[in-house]
Amino acid sequence: MSSSATTTEERPAASSAGDPLLVVKDLKVHFPSSDGVVKAVDGLSYSVARGQTLGIVGESGSGKSVSSSAIMGLFHGSNAQLSGNIFLDGTDILTLEENDLRKLRGRDVAMIFQDPLSALHPYYTVGAQIIEAYRVHQDVSKKAARRRAIELLDRVGIPQPDRRVDDYPHQFSGGMRQRAMIAMGLVNDPSMLIADEPTTALDVTVQAQILDLLQDLQREFNSAIIIITHDLGVVAEMTDDTLVMYGGRAVEYGKTSEILTHPEMPYTWGLLSSVPDVTGDTSAKLIPIPGNPPSLLNPPSGCHFHPRCTFRDKVAGDLCRTTTPELVPGSRGSSHLKRCHLPDPESIYQAEVLPEIAPDLVEATDAMESAAPVAPAEAGGSAEPSAASAPIEAKEQG
């Protein structure tokens, strides 16, 4: 490993400006089993600044939720093997005792879990659970806590919150339970909020309301937010930075605008290719990623993505199968990191991937470039629009 690669791999600095509230450095979460060690998270590093939003994307089983559960200290006392560092406002969460973790959870860092039916206790009313989450960190009366619970239920769109506050989780629909979980996560105005698929089971109208609510919280309290999602539209709208995970590792990390318009990792290309374009040709087919996600018990050698990668033959020799690529700066500088052996991914993306996923836009871009007047050389040349920004821009314009 070269010295430059080592420095990049160990550097957890965020790609967006600002003081980092959360710094995850070389995090490993392994689970011993009778068949061996499951490497759910294997050397993950990133950071989130105050007032910034990080989107974490990837297929199920890539380690997104496990890494976030480690931030909450939920593996404390279990058989999970954790190493590395998780600094929240300067405090390493992995070194805290259980009592200190309890003081931190809900007040400084809160999590909106993906499955509200499992996260909410069936024997207690929704309001009682929100009230308990509030009073454990705030010195207030039950009456004041109840008012706070009703206020939050109203803000997340629960109808008749003064009445529904006394209902049990089974009396709520799936979408309403999700909104109640969001209310519980926001009740203490945490400085760090982790939202694991926060808009699951919600219609598009309520989804927009929830995303607006998260943004309001961020503007009001300068909170840092991590959004775990499969929806690249949510990533494009909400996040400043994006972390793409595969096989327990980060495979691409940088500013969202760069990741979505100039991706440099074939796995990210596959995620973008799998998104239907409602503004494009209705007869166009989706281009799925071939194969299945890797086993975290026996991951592939070399690049974990190489068994599914259709571009591995463009790498000289057998490098993809034998050598694990480091997370190094891409062609656009140190703020955009990628884990791939491809020598010139930008050119491959524009020449081979983009025409497949956005042919109409590529044709339109080519027509615009051919029709545009050529600027004189002494004037500094022409500013040509990049076709690499096609997929997301096309959807936003539509």
Q: In DSSP terms, which residues pair with 87 in a beta bridge?
A: 23, 92
Instruction: Quickly state the pLDDT bin for 283 (edges 50, 70, 90).
Output: low
- Mean pLDDT (whole number) for 181-190: 90
Task: With a cut of 80, say whether residue 7 has pLDDT above it.
Answer: no
- Mean pLDDT (whole number) for 92-102: 92
Task: With a cut of 60, say whether residue 8 has pLDDT above it.
Answer: no
Q: What is the 3-state secondary structure (H, E, C) of the chain?
A: CCHHHHHHHHCCCCCCCCCEEEEEEEEEEEEEECCEEEEEEEEEEEEEECCCEEEEECCCCCCHHHHHHHHCCCCCCCCCEEEEEEEECCEEHHHCCHHHHHHHECCCEEEECCCHHHHCCCCCCHHHHHHHHHHCCCCCCHHHHHHHHHHHHHHCCCCCHHHHCCCCHHHCCHHHHHHHHHHHHHCCCCCEEEEECCCCCCCHHHHHHHHHHHHHHHHHHCCEEEEECCCHHHHHHHCCEEEEEECCEEEEEEEHHHHHHCCCCHHHHHHHHCCCCCCCCCCCCCCCCCCCCCCCCCCCCCCCCCCCCCCHHHCCCCHHHHCCCCCEEECCEEEEEECCCCCCHHHHHHHHHHHHHCHHHHHHHHHHHHHCCCCCHHHCCCCCCCHHHHHHHHHHHC
pLDDT per position as a tens digit, 319-350: 999 999 999 998 887 889 999 999 889 899 98
Lowest mean pLDDT among 27-31, 114-118, 135-139, 334-338: 114-118
Instruction: Quickly state the pLDDT bin for 220 (edges 50, 70, 90).
Output: confident
Task: With a cut of 70, say whether residue 111 has pLDDT above it.
Answer: yes
54 class by beta-carbon count within 10 Å (0-12 exposed, 13-18 middle, 19+ buried): buried
What is the DSSP code (8-state) at residue 19? Answer: -
Which residue spans within 207-350 are E strands per DSSP? 224-228, 241-246, 249-255, 328-330, 333-338
Q: Which two structure tokens, joined as six digits, stand for 25?
A: 């450095």
Domain ranges of the chain: 118-188
Separation CA 350–CA 366 (nearest Å): 12
Lowest mean pLDDT among 105-109, 230-234, 239-243: 230-234
User: What pLDDT is stored for residue 369 in this prediction?
Assistant: 59
User: What pLDDT is stored for residue 380 in this prediction?
Assistant: 46
Instruction: Quickly state the pLDDT bin for 231 (edges 50, 70, 90).
Output: confident
More confident residue, 3 or 188: 188
User: What pLDDT is stored for residue 1 in this prediction?
Assistant: 39
Lowest mean pLDDT among 123-132, 141-150, 218-227, 283-292: 283-292
Lowest mean pLDDT among 231-235, 278-282, 366-370: 366-370
- Mean pLDDT (whole number) for 57-72: 93
- The one-letter code for the residue type at 104 is L
User: What pLDDT is stored for residue 230 in this prediction?
Assistant: 86
User: What pLDDT is stored for residue 397 in this prediction?
Assistant: 44
Find the distance separating the first CA and the last CA of the chain, reported in whole Å.
Answer: 45
How large a percentage of the chain has pLDDT more than 70? 83
Task: With a cut of 90, say whether residue 81 has pLDDT above it.
Answer: yes
Instruction: Quickly state the pLDDT bin for 386 (edges 50, 70, 90).
Output: very low
Query: Taken in order 196, 197, 203, 208, is the CA torsion positive or negative?
Result: positive
90 φψ region: left (φ > 0), alpha (ψ -120 to 50), beta (else) = left
Separation CA 355–CA 66 (nearest Å): 36
Across 95-104, 276-285, 361-370, the highest mean pLDDT is recorded for 95-104
Task: With a cut of 70, say whether residue 315 has pLDDT above it.
Answer: yes
Mean pLDDT, the chain, rounded, equals: 84
pLDDT per position as a tens digit, 114-124: 888 888 999 99
Asked if 116 contacts 169 with a C-beta cutoff of 8 angstroms, the reply is yes
